[in-house]
Amino acid sequence: MGSPRSKVEVKGFEARYYDLLMGILTLGQYGRWLKRAVRDTGVGPGWKVVELGSGTGIAACEFSRIIGDEGKYLGLDIGKEMMAKAEKRCRKRKNVEFLFQRIEEPFNTPFPADLFFVSFVMHGLENPDKEKVLANVRNNLRPGGRFAVLDYSQMEVEKSWFLPRILIGKLECPLAREFAEMNFPAFVEKRGFKLAALKKYFLSVFSLYIFVRE
Ligand SMILES: C[S@@+](CC[C@H](N)C(=O)[O-])C[C@H]1O[C@@H](n2cnc3c(N)ncnc32)[C@H](O)[C@@H]1O
């Protein structure tokens, strides 16, 4: 069961119109940002990639294009409607697979991954669940492999400019605000990773945190 303080388990109306809603919220830029973040992970041909909370499969298709026939992509999610959209979007991609799997519950991937990617999911997990996810990533990522997290930037929400104040402070779940205000890189680094790069997007509202497994 997900936390009642979270909004990341997307269902019903929101799941049916997820891409449209995100497109409206970002003035049509959502897919473009997500694909840019995928490229910014440094992923290359032949890589084995696991995505946590793969949603409607936008990142999956971009990964599939880059990793090519030698690579493998596995997307884990629990949203039936979101997964159906992802499967439809990626139906012609032979290097892509989706699995119904709670990311905070223990799992073994069929290969040691070169890269784990997660976008707009970590902020919606309670800290003990974040820890369980990090343990799963560590167990299935090869030493030296990358863990890339696209999510809100670190900020003091009330002291920030109006967009993050409204988006994170008012529209999002309380966990999103806690995420923005915690020291997320330090939280991850305490669990066997090292922050290797940090890229900011959209006037620094969003960040791509790239960690390396030690
Ligand atoms: C906010 S959406 C983000 C989707 C996609 N990553 C993106 O950036 O567009 C969150 C996704 O994570 C999935 N999700 C939420 N909690 C999860 C969990 N505990 N285990 C697996 N998937 C989860 C939801 O079903 C949904 O598809």
**Tokens representing residue 82 in the block:** 């979101």
CB of 75 closer than 6 angstroms to any ligand 1 atom: no
Q: What is the pLDDT confidence band of residue 43, given thresholds at 50, 70 and 90? A: very high
| Minimum CA distance residue for ligand 1 atom 20 | 102
Q: Of 11-15, 142-146, 178-182, 188-192, which gets the smallest average pLDDT?
A: 11-15
Ligand 1 pocket, residue 77 CB under 6 Å: yes
Rounded to an integer, what distance in angstroms lies between the CA atom of residue 130 and that of residue 151? 13
Q: Which single residue is written with the structure tokens 């936390």? A: 3
Q: What is the DSSP string of 19-66?
A: HHHHHHHTTT-HHHHHHHHHHHTT--TT-EEEEES-TTSHHHHHHHHH
- Ligand 1: residue of 121, 125, 151 to mutate (most ligand atoms within 8 A of CB) is 121
Backbone angles phi, psi at 132, to 5 degrees: -65, -40
Strands lying side by side in the sheet with 193-201? 96-100, 72-77, 48-52, 113-119, 141-152, 206-213, 193-201
User: What's the confidence (pLDDT) of residue 7?
Assistant: 83
In this model, does residue 1 exceed pLDDT 90? no
Please classify residue 69 by burial: count the beta carbons closer than 10 Å to its beta carbon, then call 0-12 exposed, 13-18 middle and 19+ buried.
exposed
Cα Rg, the chain, nearest whole Å: 16
Q: For the chain, what are the domain ranges?
A: 29-213
Q: What pLDDT score does 25 carry?
A: 86
Nearest CA to ligand 1 atom 13: 53
CATH top-level class of 29-213: alpha beta
Task: Specify the ligand 1 atom closest to the Cα of 54.
Answer: 6
The yes-or-no verdict on residue 122 having pLDDT over 90 is: yes
Structure tokens at 128: 């003990």
- 25: CA distance to ligand 1 center in Å? 18
Tell the residue number behind the tokens 């670190």, with chain if given.
154
Give alpha helix (H) positions in 100-173: 127-140, 162-166
The C-alpha atoms of residue 44 and residue 178 are separated, in whole angstroms, by 33
Q: How confident is the model at residue 19 (pLDDT cuts 50, 70, 90)?
A: very high
Residue 8 has pLDDT above 90, yes or no: no
Please provide residue 187's backbone torsions phi and psi, each rounded to the nearest 5 degrees. -60, -45
- Site to probe by mutation for ligand 1, drawn from 1, 7, 8 as the one with most ligand atoms within 8 Å of Cβ, is 8
> Quick check: pTM over 0.95?
yes
Give me the residues paired with residue 103 across strands.
Answer: none
